[in-house]
Structure 1
């Protein structure tokens, strides 16, 4: 079938329409369309090479050869992901490795339209591949490289980068900590990497989110938090930290210097896992009173040796959640250590329930209601409509709250829960739709997206 045949109508379609149609089809169709004509071959090439993911050194070499020989393919690349392990598989000889680095370096220079470059390979030699590269449209850059002078030189040639992720590890090989040149990324909004890397950034860098790690035993977060306070105090919405110990000093610093953040995630790396002490819980309570806008708090522990097997204590967690929710009225979601990633959600005022999509959460909530363990809940539920309408800070639809309990009673096959009758004649499909529409997790994700 010819493109110039008026009966087909294709000759009168703009190329943008044709390209959109091709992009909406699957890879098998692309390969078939590529043989139709030169125009279709060019359009399918753009779709085929727009997003590239390479999982082995051999595939990197083959792809780079194609990009070097096909300028249309090279100019079409928007995302390139390289993620292979181990770094030097036995099937590659010395010549292959020479070709790997040389081909990658040359091909990278031809990617004039690339927006996202993700080098998820533990290979320090890749920094020399980046040495002379200039990618004028680069916005997203990820690597497993430690921040160094050559890497900073590459980054400073790309002021359009707004997302940067570098290695979470520190340079512990050198006995003397190297002096790094200033890193200047005026459009940077999201940073992930070792906390020590922040000291290399030149002002102003108004970050919106920071994901920081400290690997050294004696690492201090004070410098990194001070940098965030100085440059991003008014813009930072999300901060996530990973560090050894229970990190009370870290939470103390953040609550004092960054009290306007919306989301805080602390990962505690513990050699010997244990439940948080009363002193820890009381300290967190006092720190939470300093936050002005905090909506999401996640605290979790990583057991390094995996010796402990600490179960989630729902009744204890509920008391902690209620106490912390009172200390920080803006909080809408909390996840506690050893909760198995179970999240608690504020329904109205200081009334919290666990995620009903979680088995432990729904089971505990159903049991608590049936056993009348917390009689005060009846007052909250019976007066929910009035309370919700009066709560101007966090307005919520009464139907949402009713649907939560309605879903619970249907799941539990109970005839009566908190004054809500079960309609036996309702279809199962309605139950499934209710579950999707009124998931507590869905409500929380919207809140977090708006905060970020």
Structure 2
């Protein structure tokens, strides 16, 4: 076969293979010498291995096939490797295979591996597997997710890659050891993301002598065994993060964390996204919304504030009954926070849903997939129907300003106003409210899926399309 016709640029071949399945690529490797090189490179470019048996087969192949090893850019173990002393023989062979193969992955950019040890007597065994990274260096490594015991060997591995790493995620799964980065000195000039537990994060930031100029996102997990003063960590983080550069922060910690929010507002007024996930709270303690609002006043750049309960059940609103959720009370609290922090676009408070500011001051219960609840839409309809939605006058003015879409806009708004004198449960009033809600969906004021098939929603969308076409014609003319 004449192979010269297949000398395509690598970019074209990559694009062609995006339209094929892995099974097709494997078939090409087996039956076509012409495409074997191309197919092998694409097949091993990104590896997400879900079972230990897959890992073994894949690593044996890369050990025998240099092309496959050099082709690997992304390696993720989608399963935890459980460290069990009873399986020491099998695990020993498994980890030796990893140690032999890793040095061949010279083009690796991203790696994720999880090694779990659940009992005190397995900690030493879990720490002993660090030899898999003892001799390997990945010249292009950018992202390292090493969920395993932090040992001196792992610390030296990070030290070897500090000039290329952009994202580091660390933290043992199961029983913790006592991690420390000292006495190694780290610089990480390109590091923009760091995940880790609190003790490890404290050790890390205390071992960095200079500022981390690219740092953009920090996520810290507080375990029940970490009892040091959280202010010590926040101060260490403040010293190493850029003062003016926007930053996103996520913290998982027990309690309601008003004190943590206050400390962050003082040390990181430039925070752009702040996520506080609480656990092991005392439900008898009253939430200090006003105190948190005072803290958020300092955060002039904050656009997303999520203050929620960890491991919540969306079907139970953080384990509260649906009857306990009061949309009026929650909206009052959301507006309290947004008045204190005008830059907010997204907000969530404990025992509640996400809220989004879609237009001007219109705060809407927001349907994020993880906290979608069937009560949100009916509650919002009921709030508007009872004329208790605070920015309702501004909302009606906004809709009336869209009169160029057609006379039906005024008709819907006028009908809604006319029915205000009717009983709340009156069918005519409810119908006028639903039409207003549908028009709001078409205007993208809110995005409730329940309104997508309403005739008025489709009418508004078609009117907007027609208006845009007309404007385009007039502009071109």
Give the TM interval when normalised to the shorter protein. Answer: 0.7 to 0.9
TM-score (ref. length: structure 1): 0.78
Q: Give 2:380's match in structure 1, choosing from 365, 382, 389.
A: 365
What is residue 339 of structure 2 aligned with on the other side?
Answer: 326
Q: Give 1:55's match in structure 2, choosing from 46, 50, 55.
A: 50
CA 189–119 in structure 1, closer or farther in 2 if over 3 Å, else same = same
Instruction: Report if aligned partners of 1:273, 1:303 keep a CA contact under 8 Å in 2.
Output: no
Instruction: Report if aligned partners of 1:299, 1:336 keep a CA contact under 8 Å in 2.
Output: yes
2:454 and 2:385 map into 1 onto residues whose CA distance is 26
Q: Give 1:417's match in structure 2, choosing from 433, 443, 468.
A: 433
- Between 221-230 and 153-162, report the one with greater CA deviation: 221-230
Q: Give 2:152's match in structure 1, choosing from 137, 149, 153.
A: 149
Task: Tell me whether 1:102 sits opposite 2:108 in the alignment.
Answer: no
What is residue 226 of structure 1 aligned with on the other side?
Answer: 235
What is residue 395 of structure 1 aligned with on the other side?
Answer: none
TM-score (ref. length: structure 2): 0.74
Instruction: Report if aligned partners of 1:149, 1:180 keep a CA contact under 8 Å in 2.
Output: no
What is residue 209 of structure 2 aligned with on the other side?
Answer: 202
Higher helix share: 2
Q: Give 2:107's match in structure 1, choosing from 108, 113, 118.
A: 113
1:308 and 1:356 map into 2 onto residues whose CA distance is 18
2:459 and 2:230 map into 1 onto residues whose CA distance is 45
What is residue 69 of structure 1 aligned with on the other side?
Answer: 64
CA 171–290 in structure 1, closer or farther in 2 if over 3 Å, else same = farther
Q: Give 1:81's match in structure 2, choosing from 76, 79, 89.
A: 76
- Number of residue equivalences: 406
Q: Deviation digits for residues 86-138 of structure 1, max 9, x if unmatched?
A: 61579x95543232111101100000111100012224334221112100010
What is residue 37 of structure 1 aligned with on the other side?
Answer: 32
Task: Tell me whether 1:291 sits opposite 2:299 in the alignment.
Answer: yes
CA 223–290 in structure 1, closer or farther in 2 if over 3 Å, else same = same
2:54 and 2:65 map into 1 onto residues whose CA distance is 16
1:226 to partner: Cα distance = 1.4
Structure 1 alignment gaps of length 5 or more: 389-397, 438-452
2:57 and 2:457 map into 1 onto residues whose CA distance is 48
1:171 to partner: Cα distance = 8.7
1:429 and 1:314 map into 2 onto residues whose CA distance is 24
Q: What does 1:7-406 correspond to in 2, within 5 Å?
A: 10-11=5-6, 13-85=8-80, 87-88=82-83, 94-122=88-116, 123-158=126-161, 159-167=163-171, 179-196=182-199, 197=201, 198-206=205-213, 207-215=215-223, 216-232=225-241, 233-273=243-283, 277=286, 280-302=288-310, 309=320, 311-339=324-352, 342-355=353-366, 358=372, 359-374=374-389, 376-384=390-398
CA 151–13 in structure 1, closer or farther in 2 if over 3 Å, else same = closer
What is residue 449 of structure 1 aligned with on the other side?
Answer: none
RMSD: 3.9
1:366 to partner: Cα distance = 0.5
CA 111–294 in structure 1, closer or farther in 2 if over 3 Å, else same = same
Q: Deviation digits for residues 284-336 of structure 1, max 9, x if unmatched?
A: 011011111111100112379x9963543322111101111111111111111
1:85 and 1:421 map into 2 onto residues whose CA distance is 47
1:168 to partner: Cα distance = 6.6
1:148 to partner: Cα distance = 3.8
1:352 to partner: Cα distance = 1.4
Instruction: Report if aligned partners of 1:193, 1:212 keep a CA contact under 8 Å in 2.
Output: yes
1:77 to partner: Cα distance = 0.4
Instruction: Report if aligned partners of 2:181, 2:207 keep a CA contact under 8 Å in 1.
Output: no
Structure 2 alignment gaps of length 5 or more: 117-125, 417-426, 440-450, 463-477
2:66 and 2:351 map into 1 onto residues whose CA distance is 53
2:455 and 2:105 map into 1 onto residues whose CA distance is 50
Q: Deviation digits for residues 145-200 of structure 1, max 9, x if unmatched?
A: 344432221011112010100007899656x9784422332110000012332323
1:209 to partner: Cα distance = 0.5
Secondary structure of 1:352's counterpart equals strand
1:335 and 1:131 map into 2 onto residues whose CA distance is 44
